[in-house]
């Protein structure tokens, strides 16, 4: 293998690939990446057996071949290079990296020993705008569960119905749903993608270019320009969450988001170990209150527009979960619907409902 390319191109690819490499004492080659040439491209491949990435980089192929080298070493070396052009050559099982002023040798392993990346047996698929997908993932990802007790909650649920995509996450304490229109010509289907994979997608997607998503048996494939990402799918059934989304409310309010958010942030200083902040709606006002016998008490009142000003409504939330929801809302004024101190409440932007955030209250005896 012998190949020449721009340093900027291969550097970006190696940074991504390094994050996909794995650490496995029984299979140390997973900490490597695979370099292989074909036509006028070099393909960089990395995997941890849970997910994989393949990136094509344009350049000039002098001789075809392949080699596997440690991901961290080659990524760090290329980032340290200042020259614009890099030559890579496989020679006697090693990778020679050359620039105008540098000659570097990296000990390699035969590319034949690198794990094969299984092809996704495409059953369903659709296309979507990249920035829209990234926005949706960013909005719902705070609600993903960090506990492995229920594996289906440790990922993000994709549900495709006709030309609508619902992206959902929950940890049972809160639930976030984002709706998008998509180009779908297939049957309705759904799958759950691991949290770590969703984090990588957020980091990789940088433009509004079209992304192709293909779903197959136990796998999903994302095609983003010259990048292909394969991920396993979490086994299990996501709950029928739509039944818990409240449809009617005893009280609906419209609140200035930043006033509300700033008050909740301050209340966090005074919360107890269960991190509760109490809300009370009465007489077109929202009272935000918290207290801790070791620190003190906090109370703030802000004006709101409410549907039932004569009906007093009290509810308590985990302040962190509440802030996650407020941070995911975009508009200056937001909707807050609640029924009782023991029922789920709903938040969304005032003018639309493409993003919903459902929050379970804290039951304080």
Q: What is the pLDDT of residues 316-329, one digit of tens each?
A: 999 999 999 999 99
What's the half-sphere exposure (Cβ side, CA atoms, 13 Å) at 84?
A: 0
Provide the CA 70 distance to its chain's centre, in angstroms: 27
Q: Which residues does residue 58 pair with via DSSP β-bridges, in sequence order?
A: 41
pLDDT digits (tens, 9 = 90+) for 124-182: 889 999 999 999 999 999 999 999 999 999 999 999 998 999 999 999 999 999 999 99
pLDDT at position 311 is: 86
- Specify whether the CB–CB gap between 259 and 304 falls below 8 A: no
Q: How far is the CA of 182 from the CAs of 34, 129, 210, 242, in angstroms?
A: 34, 8, 11, 20
pLDDT digits (tens, 9 = 90+) for 104-124: 999 999 999 999 998 888 778
pLDDT digits (tens, 9 = 90+) for 79-103: 999 999 999 999 999 999 999 999 9
Provide CB contacts within 8 A for 317, sequence distance 6+. Answer: 276, 277, 279, 345, 359, 361, 362
Give the pLDDT mean for 188-198: 95
pLDDT at position 183 is: 81
**165: its two tokens:** 């995509």
Q: Rounded CA gap, 179 and 198, in Å?
A: 17
**Average pLDDT of the residues of the chain:** 95
Q: Rounded CA gap, 4 and 87, in Å?
A: 4
- pLDDT-derived band of residue 249, with 50, 70 and 90 as boundaries? very high
- Specify whether the CB–CB gap between 168 and 241 falls below 8 A: yes
Q: Rounded CA gap, 151 and 235, in Å?
A: 8
- The model's pTM is 0.94
Q: What angle do CA 190, 192, 195 make, to 5 degrees?
A: 150
Q: What angle do CA 32, 103, 70 make, to 5 degrees?
A: 5
**169: its two tokens:** 């996450």
pLDDT at position 365 is: 58
Give the pLDDT mean for 203-232: 94
Between helix 130-140 and helix 319-328 the angle, nearest 10°, is 160
pLDDT at position 315 is: 97
What do you get for the CA distance between the two ends of the chain, in Å? 70
Q: Rounded CA gap, 18 and 13, in Å?
A: 9
pLDDT at position 363 is: 83
**pLDDT above 80 for 275:** yes
- pLDDT-derived band of residue 209, with 50, 70 and 90 as boundaries? very high
Question: By three-state DSSP, how is residue 204 classified?
Answer: helix
- Specify whether the CB–CB gap between 165 and 180 falls below 8 A: yes
pLDDT at position 85 is: 96
């Amino acid at each position: 293998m012998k190949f020449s390319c721009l340093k900027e191109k291969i550097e970006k690819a190696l940074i991504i690939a390094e994050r996909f490499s794995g650490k496995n004492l029984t299979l140390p080659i997973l900490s490597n990446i695979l370099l292989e040439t074909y036509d006028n491209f070099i393909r960089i491949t990395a995997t941890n057996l849970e997910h994989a990435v393949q990136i094509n980089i344009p350049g000039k192929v002098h001789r075809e071949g392949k080699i596997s080298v440690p991901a961290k070493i080659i990524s760090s070396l290329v980032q340290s290079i200042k020259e614009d052009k890099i030559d890579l050559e496989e020679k006697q099982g090693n990778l020679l990296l050359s620039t105008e002023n540098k000659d570097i040798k990296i000990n390699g392993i035969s590319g034949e020993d690198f794990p094969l990346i299984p092809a996704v047996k495409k059953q369903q698929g659709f296309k979507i705008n990249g920035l829209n997908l990234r926005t949706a993932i960013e909005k719902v990802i705070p609600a993903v569960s960090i506990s492995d007790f229920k594996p289906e909650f440790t990922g993000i649920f994709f549900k495709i119905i006709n030309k609508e995509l619902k992206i959902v996450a929950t940890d049972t304490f809160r639930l976030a749903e984002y709706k998008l229109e998509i180009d779908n010509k297939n049957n309705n289907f759904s799958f759950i993608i691991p949290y770590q994979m969703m984090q990588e997608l957020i980091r990789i997607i940088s433009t509004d270019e079209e992304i192709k998503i293909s779903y197959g048996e136990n796998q999903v494939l994302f095609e983003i320009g010259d990048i292909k990402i394969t991920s396993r799918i979490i086994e299990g059934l996501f709950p029928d969450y739509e039944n818990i989304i409240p449809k009617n409310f005893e009280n609906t309010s419209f609140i200035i988001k930043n006033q509300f958010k700033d008050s909740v942030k301050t209340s966090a200083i005074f919360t107890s170990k269960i991190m509760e902040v109490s809300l009370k709606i009465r007489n077109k006002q929202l009272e935000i209150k918290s207290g801790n016998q070791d620190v003190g008490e906090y109370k703030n009142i802000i004006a709101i527009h409410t549907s039932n000003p004569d009906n007093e409504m009290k509810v308590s939330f985990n302040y962190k979960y509440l802030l996650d929801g407020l941070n995911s809302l975009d508009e200056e004024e937001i909707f807050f619907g609640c029924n009782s101190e023991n029922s789920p409440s709903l938040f969304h932007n005032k003018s639309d409902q493409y993003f919903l955030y459902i929050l379970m209250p804290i039951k304080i005896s």
